[in-house]
Structure 1
Amino acid sequence: MDHLRVIVTIADVGSFSAAARKLRRAQSAISQAVAALEELQGVRLFDRSGHRPRLTDIGQVLVEQARLVLASAARFEAVAASNRSGLEAELALAIDPLVPTGPLIESLHALRKTYPDLPVSFTTEGLGGALRRLRNDTAALAICLLLPAVPEDIVAYPLLRIDMIPVVASGHPLASLTRPATRSDLEPHVQLVLSDPLDPSGASYGLSSARLWRFVDLGRRLDFLLAGFGWCRMPSHLVSKPIAAGQLTRIEIENDPTPPDGLTIYAAHRRNRAPGVAGRWLLDELKRRLCA
């Protein structure tokens, strides 16, 4: 590592003597370090025939590799130092597909600025997947729905509510109804539902059709919705523009079980596994940003 630092410094400052001054060493020690590295690798890093040393072709390549190695080593040391001070080794997050992206991105930007060396893993799960990751300890914090209620083994903080709007493509037969749709109106048509990919037969909510097409992600479901394959409830922030453009039509459903004030998005963790320093910071940031 020391030899790599020497050759990078020479490349940056332009000479052995300048590198010696910057590293506060004798020039002979700098020359010996370069010679030792050249002998070890069996290559010539610097052309010394001129007034100033000049990187050879292989020297230029290896100096760039040295920069990567030194940067990786610095991150290694920073993560270890952060962990000694109480920061978790890694923050694993699991996010439900219904969570709005904008405020989440802003909070993650703030997290990165506050803890720039913290490794963060991030997964977007199918419906129910975030809760499963909490329970199998592959996520420390989840941003998710918890239906029908918050489980006993989970601590959850309500962040925001999202409106779920029943919609169909404007050319779909349900779009022409002039009254609230009844269950018998909905049953013949395909309902596009979000599903847990590992347990598609698990608990489902708001099902009204006999034919179900199951999706893991909202984006693909929106594509099929716009193409007229069926109806579904979608977050208002995703369908407001297609509705305004005439691509989608909002339908009313008789005795709709969806809460009129929307579904609650929670930040959650296991009751017996409290988040670490960065997890608590992110939790407070999300509550500050979304609960205001």
Structure 2
Amino acid sequence: MELRQLAYAVAVADEGGFGRAADRLGIVQSAVSQQVMRLERELGVILFDRSTRRVRPTAAGERLLPEARAVLAAADRTRRVAAEIAAGAEGVLRLGAVHGPGDRLYDVLSALSDLAPQLRVRLTRAAPPERLAQVRSGTLDAAFVRGPAAVPGLELLPLWSDPLYAALPAGHPAAALDPLRPADLRDLPLRLAPRARNPPFHDLITAAWQAADLGTPVTGPPFTTLRETLTEIADDAPSWTVLYRVSGLPPVPRIAYRPLAGLTVTTSLAVRSGPPPPALRRLLEAVHRSSAPTKRSPATRTGR
């Protein structure tokens, strides 16, 4: 059966005749009669008693017409929802999230909720390579990533940049400097997680040292967890680690945080090539509308 056949049958029932139904629908009466008869043949029942001047539903018609109205109402709802999805105002947006997203991502999601209250966001947290692979496969619509300037097979849309900070012993001479430059840390061992966990972040630091003609940073013990690493920096042989901003880091005794001059890490949205779908356009609008907090704790874990 076709939706128009159901619509014609409902119009006949509402108007009490084929002629009046045709006038309401703006078509000829014969078209209404033919489509209703085709529907009756397909269903195997007679829907209308045509023996009187005013056409009335049969017993079968009285039972089936409410179902026809429900089908038409469901079709209308489907069209409305499809239109909202096409406009980016409804549906599901599947996003890969960075570890320790901080205030800024929450600001973006709050702005997106204001722009499109019916748009549901489903966040997935995974290592950067897995997030990017899921965007390529279509499992995710997009993914937030920090650091890379290019990703094979995907387009990166820069969203915001955060300054980088050094965490070092408060009693170290370099802690008296603000900001710090790579030369100020040249002899202090650097604690980073293995490069495989976040190659762009490693490469950013290495490039800064090479640009300052310092070769590569002196390697210290590996970064483990944020709390453990900061505790070891405070208590063990002098070393340092590099951080970017998120919220919620408690102060650590004997640790100083100093900005690294000219060094920032960029957070981008990794998407498949081509015009972004409406839901992603809403997300990008939310990024522009959200305001970045001006005061946040200058730290997060590295290499994630």
TM-score computed with the length of structure 2 as normaliser? 0.49
| 8 A contact 1:161–1:262 mirrored in 2 | yes
1:115 match: 116
1:249 match: 256
Shift of 1:239: 9.4
2:138 match: 137
Alignment of 1:57-72 (within 5 A): none
Q: Which amino acid aligns with 1:82?
A: V
Shift of 1:211: 4.5
1:224 match: 228
1:95 match: 97
1:83 match: 82
1:282 match: 283
In structure 2, relative to structure 1, the CA distance for the partners of 1:201 and 1:111 (3 Å cut) is closer
Residues 261-283 of structure 1: per-residue CA shift (max 9 Å, x gap): 512222331114x4432221111
| Higher alpha-carbon Rg | 2
Shift of 1:137: 2.2
Distance in 1 separating the partners of 2:290 and 2:198: 35
In structure 2, relative to structure 1, the CA distance for the partners of 1:133 and 1:263 (3 Å cut) is same
| 8 A contact 1:169–1:225 mirrored in 2 | no
Q: Which amino acid aligns with 2:268?
A: Y
Distance in 2 separating the partners of 1:176 and 1:92: 42
Q: Which amino acid aligns with 1:145?
A: R
Q: Which amino acid aligns with 2:264?
A: G
Residues 179-219 of structure 1: per-residue CA shift (max 9 Å, x gap): 95454x23xx4613376xxx54956322634345355xxxx
Distance in 2 separating the partners of 1:212 and 1:232: 10
| 8 A contact 1:159–1:267 mirrored in 2 | yes
Distance in 2 separating the partners of 1:125 and 1:290: 26
* Equivalenced residues, count: 194
In structure 2, relative to structure 1, the CA distance for the partners of 1:174 and 1:239 (3 Å cut) is farther
| 8 A contact 2:163–2:244 mirrored in 1 | yes
In structure 2, relative to structure 1, the CA distance for the partners of 1:89 and 1:271 (3 Å cut) is same
| 8 A contact 2:165–2:257 mirrored in 1 | yes
| 8 A contact 2:169–2:254 mirrored in 1 | yes
| 8 A contact 1:96–1:128 mirrored in 2 | no
Q: Which amino acid aligns with 2:232?
A: G
Instruction: Answer yes or no: is 1:167 the counterpart of 2:174.
Output: no
**Aligned with 2:282: secondary structure?**
helix
In structure 2, relative to structure 1, the CA distance for the partners of 1:133 and 1:170 (3 Å cut) is farther
In structure 1, stretches of 5+ residues that fail to align are: 1-76, 253-257
2:61 match: none
In structure 2, relative to structure 1, the CA distance for the partners of 1:213 and 1:276 (3 Å cut) is same
> Which residue, 245, 249, 267 being the options, matches 1:265?
267
Residues 152-192 of structure 1: per-residue CA shift (max 9 Å, x gap): 63333322221111212436x78779995454x23xx4613
Q: Which amino acid aligns with 2:255?
A: L
Residues 116-162 of structure 1: per-residue CA shift (max 9 Å, x gap): 34332112343455433322322212222242x22363333322221
Shift of 1:108: 1.3
Shift of 1:286: 0.3
Distance in 2 separating the partners of 1:119 and 1:133: 19
Distance in 1 separating the partners of 2:130 and 2:170: 32
Distance in 2 separating the partners of 1:266 and 1:139: 15
| Percent identity (aligned) | 19
Alignment of 1:145-224 (within 5 A): 145-147=146-148, 149-151=149-151, 153-170=153-170, 180-181=183-184, 183=186, 185-186=187-188, 189=189, 191-193=191-193, 199-200=196-197, 204-205=202-203, 206=205, 208-214=217-223, 220-221=225-226, 223-224=227-228
Residues 20-59 of structure 1: per-residue CA shift (max 9 Å, x gap): xxxxxxxxxxxxxxxxxxxxxxxxxxxxxxxxxxxxxxxx
Shift of 1:224: 2.1
